[in-house]
Amino acid sequence: MENFVMPGEKVATEEEFVAGSNTFVEEGVIYSSVIGNAVKENGAVSVSAAGREIKIIDKNMLVLGTVTDDVKSVIFVKIGDINIDRKDYLALKDGKIIMDRPRPGRFGGSREGGRGDNRFHSERPVKPCAVGDTILARVLYNDKDSYTLSLNGNETGVIYAKCDECGSDMLSENNSLVCSECGHREQRKISSLYNKPEDIKKLFV
């Protein structure tokens, strides 16, 4: 038995079948992760990809995105669909990066602590990226409403940025970004693949 399904379309439940290739499971329901024919045989359901291979972005995958907002300890990222050769990667949700918070022990201490503690906590945390930056990130969690992203790792981080002051391209230099025109500097978590689109493309082929 075969039928044509779309990425994200329900193909069966875990009570009925074992999830096979090109499928993913959420709360007991098996969904297709590609466009293709759902095939149910020997107690398993799998999907054979037809034509272009379409994948839904999932946990542990790399994504490209643009930083859209930065509110307190959360950085919001619009994730772009990626179309490379015969593969399409679809992002059905936006992403977010959660900044480290003070440890619980320290947080409790700072409430009743002296001035020294308060001064320590009022320091602005260093953000790994800023609004407008293009980033390469890894999906840490595939949550219901968004992807939680990580910038830990050499290849993840900012891959392209423009100068806040004059809008020119920023260059990567000694672990900081320097404007190619006005010399303005910014601190970022910079990807080892900063401004190397060909190398970034290879990650997705």
Sole window of 4-12, 29-37, 49-57, 183-191 interacting with Zn ion (rule: CB under 5 A): 183-191
CB-CB contact of 49 with 36 (8 Å) = yes
Q: Which of 67, 179, 190, 200 binds Zn ion (CB under 5 A)?
A: 179
Is residue 165 a contact point for Zn ion (CB under 5 A)? yes
Closest CA to 161 of 128, 193, 194: 194
Is residue 173 a contact point for Zn ion (CB under 5 A)? no
Report DSSP state, residue 17: -
Q: Which of 163, 177, 193, 200 binds Zn ion (CB under 5 A)?
A: 163
Report DSSP state, residue 155: S
Closest CA to 37 of 51, 57, 19: 51
Nearer to Zn ion (CB atom), residue 9 or residue 164: 164
Sole window of 23-31, 64-72, 172-180, 185-193 interacting with Zn ion (rule: CB under 5 A): 172-180
Q: Which of 166, 173, 176, 201 binds Zn ion (CB under 5 A)?
A: 166
Number of residues that bind Zn ion (CB under 5 A): 8
Nearer to Zn ion (CB atom), residue 50 or residue 182: 182
Q: Which residues, including other chains, have CB under 8 Å from residue 131's CB and lie 6 or more apart?
A: 67, 68, 69, 70
Nearest distance from residue 196's CB to Zn ion, in Å? 21
CA distances from 32 to 9, 61, 73 (A): 6, 17, 34
Is residue 170 a contact point for Zn ion (CB under 5 A)? no
Element (H, E) at 142: strand 134-142
Nearest distance from residue 39's CB to Zn ion, in Å? 55
Count other Cβ atoms within 10 Å, centred on residue 95.
Answer: 24
Q: Which of 87, 138, 184, 196 binds Zn ion (CB under 5 A)?
A: 184
Please give the residue ranges that form the binding site for Zn ion (CB under 5 A).
163, 165-166, 168, 179, 181-182, 184
